[in-house]
Amino acid sequence: MTKLTTKKMKIAVLTSGGDSAGMNAAVRAVVKMGILRGCETWVVREGYEGLVKGNTEAPAAQDYSTTQGNPINLPESLKDDTLVRNLRFGDGPLLRDGEGDTSDADHTLKGRYIIRVGWDDVRGWMGEGGTFIGTARSTTFRTVEGRLAAARNLIKEGIDALVVCGGDGSLTGADKFRSEWPEHVKTLRANGDIGDEEVEKYGHLKIVGLVGSIDNDMALTDMTIGAPTALHRICEAIDNINTTAASHSRAFVVEVMGRHCGWLALVAGISSGADFIFIPERPPSSDSWEEEMCATIKAHRNVGKRKTIVIVAEGAHDKNLNPVRADDIKKVLAEQLGLDTRVTTLGHVQRGGRPCAWDRILPTLQGVEAVEVLLTATPDTPSYVIGISENKVTRVPLMEAVLKTQEAAKAIGEKNFEKAMSLRDSEFGESLDAFMAISTLDKRLVAENQRLRIAIMHVGAAAGGMNAATRTAVRFCHLRGHTPLSIHNGFKGLLNDHITNPSWLGVDNWMTRGGSELGTNRVLPSADMGAIAAKFQTHNFDGLLIIGGFEAFSALLELEEARNSYPAFRIPMVHLPATISNNVPLTDYSLGSDTSLNALVDACDAIKQSASASRNRVFVVETQGGKCGYIAALGALATGAVLVYTPEVGISLDSLRNDVKFVKERYGLDVRGKSEGRLVLRNEKASDIYTTEIITKILKEE
Residues with catalytic function: 215
**Measured between alpha carbons, how far is residue 620 from residues 358, 432, 436, 611 in Å?**
22, 43, 46, 11
Q: Which of 268, 173, 262 is nearest to 215 (CA)?
A: 262
Cα 545 from Cα 159, distance rounded (Å): 58
User: Other CB atoms closer than 10 Å to residue 148's CB: what's the count?
Assistant: 19
Task: Tell me the β-bridge partners of 251.
Answer: 308, 341
Asked whether 491 and 524 are in contact (CB, 8 A), the reply is yes
Farthest CA pair distance, the chain: 91
In sequence order, the β-bridge partners of residue 458 are 547
Alpha helices (runs of H) in 6-108, residue ranges in sequence order: 23-36, 47-53, 82-85, 92-97
Distance CA 213, CA 405 (A): 12
Determine which helix (DSSP H) or strand (DSSP E) holds 454, and give its type and residue range: strand 453-459
Q: Helix, strand, coil shares of the chain as percentages rounded to 5?
A: 45, 15, 40
Q: Are 113 and 146 contacting, i.e. CB atoms less than 8 angstroms apart? A: no
Return the sign of the alpha-carbon dihedral for residues 379, 382, 387, 392.
negative
Instruction: Please name which of 154, 152, 151, 211 lies closest in space to residue 180, comparing C-alpha atoms.
Output: 151
Asked if 603 contacts 354 with a C-beta cutoff of 8 angstroms, the reply is no
Q: For residue 437, what are the CA distances in angstroms to 76, 272, 273, 633, 670?
A: 66, 15, 12, 36, 56
End-to-end CA distance of the chain: 18
Report the distance separating Cα 486 and Cα 489, nearest Å. 10
CB 619 within 8 A of CB 639: no
Judge whether 251 and 341 are in contact, CB under 8 Å. Answer: yes
